[in-house]
Amino acid sequence: MKLALIGSNGMLARKVRELAPVGSELHGFDLPEFDLTDRAQVLAAMARLKPTVIINCAAFTNVDGCETQEDLATRVNGAGPGYLAEAAQAVGAVLVHISTDYVFAGDQTSPYREDDPTTPLSAYGRSKLTGEKAIAASGLARYFIVRTSWLYGPGGKNFVETMLRLAVERDELRVVADQFGSPTYTGDLAAAIFRLLALSSPAYGIYHLADLGECSWHGFAEAIVELARLHGEPVKALRVLPIATSDYPLPAPRPAYSVFNKEKYLAATGAALPHWRDSLESYFRERSQLKKGV
């Protein structure tokens, strides 16, 4: 596998590098040297490399920032993936593009399937949906659009690290309890992507990939603080209090419910991702090892 990894300095890309199959030839592309919004540069870089697989981990992921910078978000999250699809078509590569649960409005009460209507609430969600549509309209046949949710892992800003920082600084945490989704560990997502790429006769298209189970942000925060104590973190917070979304207004609206139906991936691969609680425990073990320099 000759792999072009776009957004190679990011949180998910770190695990993609780590879990790439033995013998893979991996080439990273990221800012400032590589600008995903520059069509000519994207096409030229992929034409020189001639990868067999392109994995796009690059995105403008500041959900609230997208509200005031929607033009930039649309260029990065919308136009850029279309350029990669064009490049993949030109060199005969498979494209893997990472998308989001925020393409959904969150007004369902049962897990979202890949073909359910997409009605994003935020600029971020709209920009990511634009990217999905650009790939689908490109003429490229061999692509995986991988929607995921509540992503966390080493080497990046994420909810887990934010809660850990606040739990050390504050006596109590107040966390939204009326938004529900599935936390997903970057290691699980990267492994699932390579499982898709290993299929001999894959059904290309959109896949929902997230760890099993569901919780609220409040429930996720409670689990984080509990595990932090068990792993010897200097936790100060004694309580994690549930609050309503209306009690914590943010610039960008979030879906109240964005749990995925993952039957398509299970049917294609015969594998399911781990439960989010098990993976959160794995992440804490990994953090401990990194601190010890193991």
Q: Which pLDDT value is given to residue 61? A: 95
Spans of the chain, pLDDT less than 70:
293-294
Q: Which pLDDT value is given to residue 156? A: 85
Q: Nearest-CA neighbor of 20 among 50, 52, 43?
A: 52
Q: Which pLDDT value is given to residue 287? A: 87
Cα(199)–Cα(92) distance, integer angstroms: 17
Quote the strand ranges of 17-124, DSSP E: 25-29, 53-56, 94-100
Cα(118)–Cα(45) distance, integer angstroms: 32
For 246, residues 6+ apart whose C-beta sits below 8 A from its C-beta are none
Q: Which pLDDT value is given to residue 244? A: 98
Which residues are annotated as catalytic?
124
* CATH placement of domain 2-157+183-213+258-274: 3.40.50.720
Q: Which pLDDT value is given to residue 291? A: 74
Q: Which pLDDT value is given to residue 293? A: 65
The model's pTM: 0.95
Residue ranges of domains in the chain: 2-157+183-213+258-274
Q: Which pLDDT value is given to residue 290? A: 76
Q: Are 154 and 286 in contact (CB under 8 A)?
A: yes
Cα(45)–Cα(89) distance, integer angstroms: 14
Q: Across-strand partners of 107?
A: none
